[in-house]
């Protein structure tokens, strides 16, 4: 099997995992009920860093069960969510209909997006647990640039790449266990581990996860011609990555013993060059 075929087969196996998790998450994500109650589920950081989305066309990559997509719709964006899990897309559509919101959901791998969508967007957004599922970051960077209008904005909120390397092997103590830098093969984690949103659910599928460092993320976007506007790091995270993490609100988790010492999350905003700028760029 060629390396490319091996990566595709790992991705296909991940699709089965995400179909399983989407079913679990409809019952386990607190965001589903918060949306039903009309509450805000987007974080004040992303709301501030993206700014006013009213009337803007927003493409949400790896939208999962559509919770964030629908939250952006409530803020007035014209939203399209894409995800390769048919179960996740069906959940997102059910939630949209239940909430009576306008949103389009498309079942596709990000790598096949050009075969199903042709329009351009003002904002491309992706967040919370997306990068490790991507086998080719250059192709990802290029499709973000291709789907944006000139001057369009890409925004992401994601767990910090340093967390790929760290595990809590003894209670409360983080150690370097995995490589930080990109590996040619995905790491394989066997079935049987707990779901991150419902620890009582034991997963019936393995996961295959690609490791990307900060340099690789930024370089992929810059190689695609995106201009970095902000890159911020935070010491809180959107899920319980380590058992000793604590949370006051059940949505944001911290490592009290490492407060202010370890970055847990980053946000990034990058802009596609505007039409005027592109027309004077030397060939």
Cα 219 to Cα 9, 134, 216, 238: the distances in Å are 26, 15, 5, 25
Nearer to ligand SAM, 62 or 164 (CB): 62
Strand partners, 80: 59, 104
Nearest approach in angstroms of CB 101 to ligand SAM is 16
Nearer to ligand SAM, 65 or 237 (CB): 65
Nearer to ligand SAM, 30 or 150 (CB): 30
Binding site for ligand SAM (CB under 6 A): 11, 14, 18, 62, 64-65, 67-68, 83-85, 88, 109-110, 127-130, 133
Which residue lies nearest ligand SAM, judged by its C-beta?
Answer: 129
Cα(19)–Cα(34) distance, rounded to whole angstroms?
Answer: 22
**Residues 72/47, Cβ–Cβ less than 8 Å:** no
Nearest approach in angstroms of CB 67 to ligand SAM is 5
Q: What is the CA radius of gyration of the chain?
A: 18
Nearer to ligand SAM, 84 or 266 (CB): 84
Nearer to ligand SAM, 56 or 60 (CB): 60
Nearer to ligand SAM, 194 or 274 (CB): 194
- Packing angle between helix 86-99 and helix 3-28, nearest 10 degrees? 30
Nearer to ligand SAM, 110 or 237 (CB): 110
Nearest approach in angstroms of CB 167 to ligand SAM is 19
Strands 253-254 and 246-247: antiparallel
Q: How far is CA 262 from the centre of its chain?
A: 20
Tokens at residue 12, please? Answer: 């296909």
Nearest approach in angstroms of CB 229 to ligand SAM is 21
Nearest approach in angstroms of CB 95 to ligand SAM is 11
Nearest to 202 by CA among 20, 45, 76: 20
**Residues 121/81, Cβ–Cβ less than 8 Å:** no
DSSP state of 260: T
- Would you call 272 helix, strand, or coil by DSSP? strand
Nearest approach in angstroms of CB 238 to ligand SAM is 7
Largest CA distance in the chain: 57
Nearest to 34 by CA among 64, 80, 68, 62: 68
């Amino acid at each position: 099997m060629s390396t490319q075929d091996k990566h595709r087969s790992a991705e296909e196996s991940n699709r089965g995992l995400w179909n399983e998790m989407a079913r679990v998450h409809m019952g386990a994500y607190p965001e589903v009920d918060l949306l039903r109650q009309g509450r805000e589920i987007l974080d004040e950081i992303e709301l501030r860093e993206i700014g006013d989305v009213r009337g803007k066309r927003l493409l949400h990559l790896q939208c999962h069960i559509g919770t964030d997509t629908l939250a952006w719709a409530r803020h007035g964006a014209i939203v399209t969510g894409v995800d390769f899990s048919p179960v996740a897309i069906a959940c997102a559509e059910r939630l949209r209909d239940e909430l009576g919101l306008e949103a389009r959901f498309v079942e596709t791998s990000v790598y096949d997006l050009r075969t199903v969508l042709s329009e351009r967007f003002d904002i491309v957004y992706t967040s919370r647990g997306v990068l490790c599922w991507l086998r080719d970051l250059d192709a990802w960077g290029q499709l973000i640039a291709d789907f944006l209008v000139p001057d369009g904005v890409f925004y992401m909120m994601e767990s910090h790449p340093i967390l790929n390397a760290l595990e809590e092997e003894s209670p409360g103590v983080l150690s370097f266990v995995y490589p930080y830098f990109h590996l040619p093969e995905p790491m394989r984690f066997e079935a049987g581990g707990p779901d991150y949103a419902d620890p009582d659910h034991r997963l019936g599928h393995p996961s295959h996860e690609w490791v990307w460092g900060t340099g690789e993320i930024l370089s992929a976007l810059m190689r695609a011609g995106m201009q970095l506007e902000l890159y911020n790091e935070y010491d809180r995270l959107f899920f319980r990555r380590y058992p000793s993490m604590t949370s006051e609100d059940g949505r944001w988790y911290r490592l009290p013993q490492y407060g202010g010492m370890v970055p847990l999350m980053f946000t990034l905003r990058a802009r596609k060059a505007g039409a005027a700028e592109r027309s004077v760029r030397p060939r």
